[in-house]
């Protein structure tokens, strides 16, 4: 992210965290934990969440989702975009 401010202050604004695959998994787990506080029973997620541009390993993410679902009695619906949906 860039902060352009005035003409003499063009600098890169680096966030206070390091964006790594490991951190993304930690953040994903933290988001799942917040679902417990919302007391939801069903959640829809995109198929292969975190594994496209994020570069994550789907096997690891799926295992996290599956374990969380079993431990917290929450149903997850993984939504896959089909070729036909792109044209609708």
Domain boundaries, the chain: 20-87
Q: Compute CA distances 88 → 46, 77, 85, whole Å.
A: 18, 21, 5
pTM of the model: 0.72
pLDDT tens, position by position, 35-64: 999 999 999 999 999 998 888 999 999 999
What backbone phi and psi angles, to 5 degrees, belong to 56? -75, 170
């Amino acid at each position: 992210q860039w902060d352009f401010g005035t003409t003499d202050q063009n600098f890169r604004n680096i966030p206070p965290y390091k964006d790594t695959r490991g951190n993304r998994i930690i953040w994903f787990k933290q988001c799942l934990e917040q679902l417990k506080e919302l007391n939801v029973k069903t959640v829809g997620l995109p198929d292969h969440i975190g594994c496209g541009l994020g570069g994550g390993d789907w096997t690891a993410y799926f295992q996290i989702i599956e374990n969380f679902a079993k431990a917290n009695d929450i149903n997850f619906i993984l939504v896959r975009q089909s070729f036909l949906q792109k044209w609708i």
